[in-house]
């Protein structure tokens, strides 16, 4: 899978995508993330990519021309399954959306800044608008990193057995059960005996019950 990210701050995305599981995805050739600095399509030698908004009001708006040129150049090189704009007024990302996106081959993600991007780019190029939650970040880059991470770890071959996404929270509309590691007894706080039983059926049942119990107390909305 290949993800092209259009941003005015590529540096902000370099580090988060170059560690741990995302690094492994890249090294295994399963995920290629290409960062594109929007300023290379700026309207003038000053690198301008934003301008005042029509109708007045505080805050700059990212201009049509640099974004249109960036998108058109990328589209001339390959076809894209989705052109995603990350914005607080988009659909809130969830595991189902991450699962669907992980099945695609090529994605573009556009990171907004300031007041956002000119509406005409949203109307004519963007195919999906995603938010990562009901709060406002100072730019779309961190949201894009969250989206890429949530997708990248689902690509077949990225996770190994121990980190398998099958048992993640949300994967069956349930939160994940509690987990324990050595020692069996830490300051008198003991690991639930069933986990030491060696009986896979009992362990599975216990995990399912715990997941159900946690979900019904913490996130009953998921069970509806």
Kindly list the residues in this chain that would bind ligand ADE in the complex (CB under 6 A). Answer: 86-88, 112, 131-133, 135-137, 140, 143
Residue of 110, 77, 95 whose CA lies nearest to 4? 110
Dihedral angle of Cα 193, 196, 202, 206, to the nearest 10 degrees? 60
Q: Confirm or deny that 132 is annotated as ligand binding.
A: yes
Residue with Cβ nearer ligand ADE (21 or 137):
137
Residue of 86, 165, 150, 147 whose CA lies nearest to 122? 86
Q: Are 183 and 224 within 8 A, CB to CB?
A: no
Residue with Cβ nearer ligand ADE (6 or 143):
143
Smallest gap from residue 143 Cβ to ligand ADE (A): 3
Q: Are 74 and 36 within 8 A, CB to CB?
A: yes
Q: Which residue has the tokens 């659909």?
A: 91
Q: Are 173 and 222 within 8 A, CB to CB?
A: yes
Residue 202 DSSP one-character state: H
Residue 140 sits at φ, ψ, to 5 deg, of -85, -5
- What are the residues facing 135 on neighbouring strands? none
Smallest gap from residue 141 Cβ to ligand ADE (A): 9
Smallest gap from residue 129 Cβ to ligand ADE (A): 9
Residue with Cβ nearer ligand ADE (62 or 211):
62
Minimal CB distance to ligand ADE: which residue? 143
Q: Confirm or deny that 137 is annotated as ligand binding.
A: yes
Smallest gap from residue 59 Cβ to ligand ADE (A): 13
Smallest gap from residue 41 Cβ to ligand ADE (A): 21
Q: Confirm or deny that 161 is annotated as ligand binding.
A: no
Q: Confirm or deny that 55 is annotated as ligand binding.
A: no
* CA-based max dimension of the chain: 69
Residue with Cβ nearer ligand ADE (59 or 183):
59
Q: Confirm or deny that 96 is annotated as ligand binding.
A: no
Q: Confirm or deny that 136 is annotated as ligand binding.
A: yes
Bridge-based pairing state of the strands 60-62 and 50-52: antiparallel
Q: Confirm or deny that 59 is annotated as ligand binding.
A: no
Residue with Cβ nearer ligand ADE (4 or 141):
141
Which residues are annotated binding-site positions for S-adenosyl-L-methionine? 112, 132-137
């Amino acid at each position: 899978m290949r993800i092209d990210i259009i941003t005015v701050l590529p540096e902000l995305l370099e580090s988060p995508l170059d560690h741990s599981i995302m690094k492994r995805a890249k090294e295994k050739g399963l995920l290629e993330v290409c960062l594109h600095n929007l300023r290379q399509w700026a309207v003038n030698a000053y690198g301008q990519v934003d301008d005042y908004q029509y109708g007045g009001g505080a805050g700059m708006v990212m201009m049509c021309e640099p974004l249109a040129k960036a998108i058109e150049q990328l589209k001339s090189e390959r076809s894209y399954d989705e052109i995603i704009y990350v914005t607080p007024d988009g659909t809130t990302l969830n595991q189902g959306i991450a699962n669907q996106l992980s099945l695609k081959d090529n994605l573009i993600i556009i990171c907004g800044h300031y007041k956002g991007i000119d509406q005409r780019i949203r109307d004519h190029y963007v195919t999906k608008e995603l938010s990562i939650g009901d709060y406002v970040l100072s730019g779309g880059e961190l949201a894009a990193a969250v989206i890429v991470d949530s997708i990248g770890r689902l690509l077949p071959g990225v996770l190994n057995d121990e980190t398998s996404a099958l048992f993640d929270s949300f994967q069956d509309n349930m939160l994940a059960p509690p987990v324990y590691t050595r020692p069996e007894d830490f300051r008198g706080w003991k690991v639930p005996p069933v986990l030491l039983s060696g009986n896979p059926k009992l362990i599975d049942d216990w995990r399912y019950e715990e997941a159900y119990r946690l979900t019904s107390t913490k996130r009953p909305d998921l069970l509806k």
